[in-house]
Chain A
């Protein structure tokens, strides 16, 4: 019987975050690649590699799209995906939705990812900075946590 540790250790979720500026006349986009590696069951932690969302400003809207990489020998089914604002680097600009709003995943779930495959999800996690965000949020760094749950799907 495959142990949970083995199962989880082989799961790798990569988050490919692409951002699209709202209100950009040039349609400029930024892209970043985040890779999150599952390590062990009970100690699910992930290491991030890659860039970050930068240049958020009042009225800016970005989207974090997610790619799920399944290194298991079984298909997996992604059941939920959420984004949450975790922290802010400035006390004057707390991590609240009034300063940076993280929307729910706007795609359809569940999504099945075949064994040893990767799938870019159709939806994304929207990130919006309100127009009336406090001026004290300029230059502030935020931490956003993406959380997902998945299950093993039938072969």
Chain B
């Protein structure tokens, strides 16, 4: 009897072990893992623009850029830096990026009169802002400034964004470029009435390419600084 029990016990035990092993092997779960490295793009430095006179106005042109293949910059901030002594306030235009190879923007005569200017380009991709380009060659526009005296309100014209809301000019200029000059005054231009000059003629203004998803207006409306009420012509 004892022998039979031993045999039964041994058989049951062996069966359990075998069954457990089989079950375990059938249900083994191997937690495997692999690591993938990912890197965010780096905003490129703006391309130094070229500039030429168009009568008493200045036409600034620059090569467009991509943050990655096929992903054009969403905007460019074009800044005119005065090289006068004392310097005039910077004049800033923000232009919606396009898929074209180059873009240009006109700084009207009223904006540049009486100053000697160099221009820079700062690329933007949504909220990402790249380093400002090197400065262009200077252009001199003799005459009396059509704007207010230095230190007061700046003449700033925004380039409207046709695809979204009325464009504004945001203080996108990198802080490191705000050097010894008077503070760059950036005026909000929700409407034409807020401008100090006629609406700019910007021939490159086109909606972004269809392949680029429309982006929400990342240009924040920035009210004019206190004491810098927009001028009327």
Contacts and interface: CB of A to CB of B under 8 A. Distances in A.
Nearest to B127: A135
A139 B40 contact: yes
B31 A27 contact: no
A24 to B, nearest CB: 3
Contact of B37 (A52, A83, A148): A52
A63 to B, nearest CB: 12
B213 interface: yes
Nearest to A153: B26
Interface string A100-118: 1000000000000000000
A119 interface: no
Given A34-B36, A151-B27, A138 B216 contact: no
B32 A26 contact: no
Interface band, chain B = 35 or more
B3 interface: no
A25 B71 CA distance: 8
Contacts of B68: 21, 24, 55-57, 60
B32 A56 contact: no
Interface residues of A, number: 64
Given A25-B212, A141-B37, A57 B32 contact: no
Contacts of A1: 21, 25
B99 interface: yes
Interface string B19-57: 001000111111111111111111100000000000000
A141 B39 contact: yes
A64 B37 CA distance: 11
Interface in A12-54: 13, 15, 17, 21-28, 34, 36, 38, 41, 44, 46, 48, 52-54
Interface in A108-140: 127, 129, 131-135, 137-140
A152 B31 CA distance: 13
A28 B70 CA distance: 7
Contacts of A22: 213
A143 to B, nearest CB: 6
Contact of A23 (B35, B37, B213): B213
Given A52-B39, A139-B39, A11 B21 contact: no
B29 A79 contact: yes
A38 B32 contact: yes
B125 A24 contact: no
A125 B14 CA distance: 44
Interface string B112-143: 00000000000001111100000000000000
A124 to B, nearest CB: 12
Given A36-B32, A141-B38, 8 more contacts: A15-B34, A25-B70, A25-B209, A55-B68, A56-B39, A57-B128, A138-B40, A146-B35
26 contacts: A1-B25, A2-B25, A8-B30, A15-B36, A25-B210, A26-B70, A34-B36, A36-B34, A46-B32, A48-B35, A55-B39, A57-B40, A57-B41, A127-B38, A131-B126, A133-B127, A138-B41, A138-B43, A144-B35, A144-B36, A145-B35, A146-B34, A147-B31, A147-B32, A148-B31, A151-B28
Interface of A: 1-2, 4, 7-8, 11, 13, 15, 17, 21-28, 34, 36, 38, 41, 44, 46, 48, 52-60, 62, 64, 79, 83, 86, 93, 100, 127, 129, 131-135, 137-152, 154
